[in-house]
Amino acid sequence: MTTRSCLSVVLAAGEGTRMKSAKPKVLHEVAGLSMLGHVLTAIAGAGGTAAAVVVGPGRDDVAAEVRRLVPDAGVHVQVERLGTAHAVLQAADALKRGYDDVIVAFGDTPLVRATTFGRLREAIAAGAAVAVLGFEAADPTGYGRLVVADGKLAAIVEHKDASEEQKRITLCNGGLMALSGAQALRLLEGVGNANAKGEFYLTDVVALARQAGLPTAVVTAPEDEVRGVNDRVQLAEVEAIAQGRLRAEAMRAGVTMVAPETVFLSHDTVLGQDVVLEPHVVFGPGVRIAGDVTIRAYSHLAGCEVAAGATIGPFARIRPKSRIGEKVHIGNFVEVNRSTLGRQVEANHLAYLGDSTVGEGTNVGAGTITCNFDGADKNPTVIGRDVFVGSNSTLIAPLTIGDEVLIAAGSTITQDVEAGGLAFGRPRQAVIPERGAEKIRANKVRRAERKARGG
């Protein structure tokens, strides 16, 4: 297969009106990646060497997603909606370049695996002019039936046109197919529109191939794999399947999930061996976790790296462009954003570290925040090694704190601190004798009076 060229034509021109969304259907995400992105990625994984994506008029947003994922892909606009064969022919210029294999896929079927696209290509390499992806339907009602004779695909019969015998067939059309590059353009151009809707149907290439004496084939996949998405309910169903796949792959690779059904992974989440995920952990795109890391319950991570031996959470948030070093401990209700934490840093509770660099062995006390935003710009805070930041400290950036500095609890630090210093910034404590007791007794009286009034 490595010596064969392959063009993928991905149909992504549908508006998806049933999604009830201003966003095009194919840009809705599954596991943190657009459905279109899943299709393009899977085809690339099957050895696709070129891509042509057919979009609707004015869909610059879809075109931008295509170019983000596959910069050299062709984008072709289908102005008139005249059927699936007509849509594929919008990429005629690409088809004329003479690829060995042509895959036709849909931008709203995000669960098709690279191995399945690979098997479609293998059928073409073995001599088929057309290879159709089919599935055994639990309930075939409404699906086109794949009629097979002598191991070859004889016809695709729509449910409404099927005989009673054909309706008992459970092998159904998954919509996707592969074509021999040498025959693709001729077959597609031979499709007519003599049907009730006056449209050019891609499925007609099977009959045309048979009429020309060209071999046809069926490749099968599980029903869940060929699921399309037309509305939000189906989107949620596909998300659930994708998450199930990702969880199973992670656990088989050595990850422990205490309650797998509550963990949500992104399509590109990387988890090392002996990672432990407690319940209700969510990963956004771009997370890489090394081995022997524990992510405690209700934590959210996105766009970050976590080194070996670290502990995160519970109730922690690690935001993009953050790097968490070895054996770091991030505790409950701690947020880290665009920051790098060195080895064995501890921020155990109720802290915010933004645009910060924190040196090895530093302890960040409860209630500490780095004030990184001045209303216009984000400013950095640099904290050295073995620093002790007392609880409820406010560090106003830009700020540099040297090694082995002790910052007294409750301090507001606005100026750089040299290594080894003791820094504090707070008013001198004042005590007024008896005033506290008077206030406490007065409050007790007020509470008693309110209770007597039924308040």
Taking alpha carbons only, the member of 50, 53, 46, 93 closest to residue 188 is 93
Task: State phi, psi for 138 to the nearest 5 degrees.
Answer: -65, -40
Between β-strands 171-180 and 130-136, what pairing exists: parallel, antiparallel or unpaired? antiparallel
Q: Which long-range contacts (C-beta less than 8 Å, at least 24 apart) are formed by 270-278?
A: 272/308, 278/313, 278/314
> 3-state secondary structure string, 251-279?
HHCCCEECCHHHCECCCCCEECCCCEECC
C-alpha angle with apex 242: 239 to 248, nearest 5 degrees? 135
What tokens does 402 get? Answer: 């040297």
Q: Are the beta carbons of 290 and 308 closer than 8 angstroms?
A: yes
Which of 369, 375, 408, 371 lies closest to 390, judged by CA? 408
41-45 CB contacts, 8 Å cutoff, 24+ apart: 41/69, 41/114, 41/267, 42/112, 42/113, 42/114, 42/116, 42/117, 43/6, 43/8, 43/10, 43/103, 43/105, 43/114, 43/117, 44/70, 44/114, 45/114, 45/117, 45/118
Of 153, 218, 179, which Cα lies nearest the Cα of 89?
Answer: 179
CA separation for the pair 439, 297 (Å, rounded): 42
Q: Catalytic site residues?
A: 349
